[in-house]
Amino acid sequence: MMQDVKINSYQFLVLVILFTIGTSILTVPSALATDAKQDAWIATIIGTGIGLLVIWLFITIANWFPHLTYVQIIEKLFGRWIGKALSAFFVFISLLYASELLYYFGIFLNIHMLPNTPMVVLNILMAGIVVMGVRLGLETFARTAEILVVVFFVFFFILVVCISPEIKFENIQPVYEMGTKKILQSSIFYVIVSSVNAVVLLMIFPSCVNKMKQGKKTFLIGNLIGGIVIIVITFLCLTVLGVEKTAGEIYPSYELTKKINIGNFIQRIEGLMASLWIITLFFKTTLYFYVSVLGMAQILNLKDYRPLTLPLGMITVVLSLVIYPNIIYQKHFDETTGNSLTLSIGLFLPLLLVFVYAIRKRTE
């Protein structure tokens, strides 16, 4: 097993930040504005709060087994056969999400930038780097993340500064019109997308992070920083574009960057700004893919996960092409089936783990 791989807590922090921002930066503003209207930004704040609770649950579990990965924990607690079945389910879903993110990447470029390029080409290009990154190992792409997170935050800062003159506070008034129920409901979606999914990080968190104590803190802080980025993006979308436009657009953040115009000089930089989510999408995909490859290797008791990367990479690309017939289906899938899948591996399974762990401890 590749258990000698260790990343430090800063690298882990960076990975958590990029994972949390991941796809949320593109999809959350419009999904939340559809239901919570001008109060979507409040929903993201509440969602970040609830998300931290979920992360706390993950940390608790990780704390009990500081040297095992999630797949190994499941196997240890549920026994060999049930454990393997549950792990296989977990691995399958993270592979599914890896291909879903490839689809996100391909369809975004297809809609906004390269309409004539077939999606298969775009997905192969992205999957190529993802597979390469995973083959080179966790340490390598954690270091890459260390560099690219700087790029991300520089662009993010430029975006915030350049767009701030366009903010109109009238767009988010009246505040709290939709009431607690609607806001809570829509914040749940956000929690699922950016925090519950973070269960896959349990594959690297306790076992591959060199300092357990700091690791715990960075898991929470990383999630919080990612959450703040999403809060800011949602707030900007609402105040600059208005509720109707934010809810109507498929990728409101991209529309936001189109609005940047400083003195007719700094303008039309949306292509550059798109690297914001290309970076986060890449790392989220890589993490999903790494987790599924590593998980599968551990289920099958392989010595090394690398032989699995190429075949699984091909499967991911093909899956990403057939997974959704169209983008409306994708939206619908994310809001229904996707949510249930995520909840089952990210919330119910951990809770079940806690339950079984408690019983086992008592019987011992």
The one among 3, 56, 82, 117 contacting other proteins by CB under 8 A: 117
CA distances from 258 to 161, 248, 364 (A): 14, 16, 61
Of the candidate spans 80-88, 113-121, 308-316, 331-339, the one that interacts with other proteins by CB under 8 A turns out to be 113-121
351 binds other proteins, rule: CB under 8 A = no
Q: Which one of residues 173, 180, 210, 336 is an interface residue with other proteins (CB under 8 A)?
A: 173
CA dist 278 and 338 (Å) reads: 22
Q: Write out the DSSP string of 41-102.
A: HHHHHHHHHHHHHHHHHHHHHHHH-TT--HHHHHHHHH-HHHHHHHHHHHHHHHHHHHHHHH
Which residue from 67, 80, 81, 170 is in contact with other proteins, where contact means CB under 8 A? 170
Q: Which of 273, 278, 24 is nearest to 157 (CA)?
A: 273
Q: Which is nearer to other proteins, 37 or 216 (CB)?
A: 37
Scanning 89-97, 116-124, 298-306, 334-342 for contacts with other proteins by CB under 8 A, the matching segment is: 116-124
Q: For residue 254, give the nearest of 273, 268, 226, 228 by alpha carbon.
A: 273
105-113, 212-220, 296-304, 322-330 -> range binding other proteins (CB under 8 A): 105-113
Task: Work out which of 116, 301, 326, 363 binds other proteins, going by CB under 8 A.
Answer: 116
Query: Rounded to whole angstroms, what are the CA distances from 335 to 30, 32, 212, 332, 343?
Result: 12, 11, 35, 5, 12
For the purposes of burial, counting CB atoms within 10 Å of the CB of 183, is it exposed (0-12), middle (13-18) or buried (19 or more)?
buried
Binding-site member from 60, 140, 261, 275 for other proteins (CB under 8 A)? 261
Task: Report how many residues bind other proteins under the rule CB under 8 A.
Answer: 20
If the CB atoms of residues 39 and 334 are measured against other proteins, the closer one turns out to be 39
Q: Which is nearer to other proteins, 76 or 135 (CB)?
A: 135
For residue 128, state whether it binds other proteins (rule: CB under 8 A).
Answer: no
Binds other proteins (CB under 8 A): choice among 49, 79, 118, 165: 118
Q: What angle do CA 225, 107, 258 make, to 5 degrees?
A: 60
Determine, following the binding rule CB under 8 A, whether residue 111 of this chain makes contact with other proteins.
Answer: yes
User: At its nearest, how many Å lie between other proteins and the CB of residue 267?
Assistant: 8
The residues, any chain, with a CB within 8 Å of residue 123's CB and separated by 6 or more, are: 102, 103, 105, 106, 317, 320, 321
Q: Say whether residue 244 binds other proteins (CB under 8 A).
A: yes
Range 40-51 burial, b when 16+ CB lie within 10 A, else e: bbbbbbbbbebb
Taking the least distance from each CB to other proteins, the nearer of 117 and 337 is 117
- What span, in angstroms and rounded, lies between the C-alpha atoms of 293 and 136? 13
Residue 182 near other proteins by CB under 8 A: no
If the CB atoms of residues 49 and 179 are measured against other proteins, the closer one turns out to be 179
Q: Interaction with other proteins in 268-297: which residues (CB under 8 A)?
A: 268
Q: Given the rule CB under 8 A, which residues bind other proteins?
A: 111-118, 121, 170, 173-174, 177, 241-242, 244-245, 258, 261, 268
